[in-house]
Each structure stands twice: as C-alpha cells, then as structure tokens.
C-alpha cells in the first residue's frame, strides 16, 4: 500500500509556547499600562490554544492570566534565554523580542519575531454584542464580577 505524500506547502506549525519580552512589547506598542498588554497577550495565546510567558524586568507579583504566565526577573533577557533553552527541544517555541542579543542566544530551533512585526500582525479583538442574546442582561452584577475575575485568572 503506497502512502500519498503531500508536497511541502511552506507553512510552519504554530508555536505551542510564546515567550514575550514584556517591556520591549510595551514600548513598541505604545501601551500606557502593562495590564492592557497582559490582557491582550492572554487573549492572543488563548485564541491559538497555546501557552505564553511574558517577562518584565524588575520586581512585581508573578501571576497567571489564563494560559499566560506573567513573570518578573532582575534580568528579563536571561530568563527568556533560559526558558527558550528549556523548552525548544520539547515544543515549538516563538520568542517575541526586538533585542538582538536575546534573539541571537535563544537557539536556532526557536522562531523569532521582532516586537514591531508581532504587534503589526496582532489582530484587533472585536467584541460586538449588537445582535447577541444579551445573557449579560440576565446575570446579576455579583455573578458578572465573579466571571470576570475567573476570566482574568484572579480566582
């Protein structure tokens, strides 16, 4: 029995782990607040069925927002390099940073995208409820607040 082999179509499998250089993206995207960027990245990885880690320089409270881990480190570049090295042999990793040193040391197995390129291809999240069933109108405020906390991974 002969197997039919499809020709290579040039597509690369989607990454299963995204590593984000937090402040690099924050400044490249003109975000006023890190929380806005975190929310956007959490939606991005969730829509792709992937996981993500965004790393910021300095101190802060590590947290998980759905499939996105938010981490703080004295040197974000070092943590991003270590995470890329730890995961590149087990899964498809994509590093999003414009820092040439980080991109150069993450390994050839890691897909690399500059912050500007990533942000340019980031689809806007549009939520239109004009024709929706308006479930929100039938749920009390306490339940809506609890659901929002769950969505953000705060509970």
Residue pLDDT, tens place only, 119-137 = 988 866 666 656 556 666 7
Residue 79 included in any domain: yes
Domain count, the chain: 1
Residue 137 included in any domain: yes
Residue 1 included in any domain: no
Taking the C-alpha atoms of residue 155 and residue 151, their distance in angstroms, rounded to an integer, is: 9
Residue 6 included in any domain: no
Residue 12 included in any domain: no
What is the reported pLDDT for 135? 67
Q: Confidence class of residue 94 from pLDDT cuts 50, 70 and 90? A: very high
What is the reported pLDDT for 84? 92
Mean pLDDT of 46-59: 93
Residue 11 included in any domain: no
Mean pLDDT of 94-119: 84
CATH number at residue 35: 3.40.50
What is the reported pLDDT for 14? 80
The larger pLDDT score, comparing residue 88 to residue 127, is at 88
pLDDT at residue 55 above 60? yes
Mean pLDDT of 36-58: 94
Tell me the percentage of the chain whose pLDDT exceeds 90.
48
Residue 35 included in any domain: yes
Q: Are 49 and 37 in contact (CB under 8 A)?
A: no
Q: Which domain holds residue 84?
A: 17-123+132-151
Residue 82 included in any domain: yes
pLDDT at residue 17 above 70? yes
What is the reported pLDDT for 8? 46
Tell me the percentage of the chain whose pLDDT exceeds 70.
80
Q: Confidence class of residue 78 from pLDDT cuts 50, 70 and 90? A: very high
């Amino acid at each position: 029995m002969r197997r039919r082999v499809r020709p290579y179509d040039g597509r690369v499998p989607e990454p299963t782990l995204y590593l984000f250089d937090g402040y690099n993206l924050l400044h490249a995207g003109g975000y006023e607040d890190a929380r806005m960027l975190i929310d956007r990245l959490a939606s991005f990885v969730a829509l792709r069925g992937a996981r993500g880690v965004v790393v910021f320089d300095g101190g802060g409270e590590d947290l998980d927002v759905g499939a996105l881990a938010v981490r703080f480190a004295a040197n974000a570049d070092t943590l991003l390099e270590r995470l890329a090295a730890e995961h590149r042999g087990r899964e498809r990793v994509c590093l999003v940073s414009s820092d040439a040193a980080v991109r150069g040391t993450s390994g050839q197995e890691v897909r690399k995208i500059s912050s500007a390129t990533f942000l340019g291809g980031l689809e806007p999240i549009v939520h239109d409820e004009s024709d929706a069933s308006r479930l929100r109108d039938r749920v009390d405020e306490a339940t809506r607040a609890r659901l929002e906390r769950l969505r953000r991974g705060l509970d």
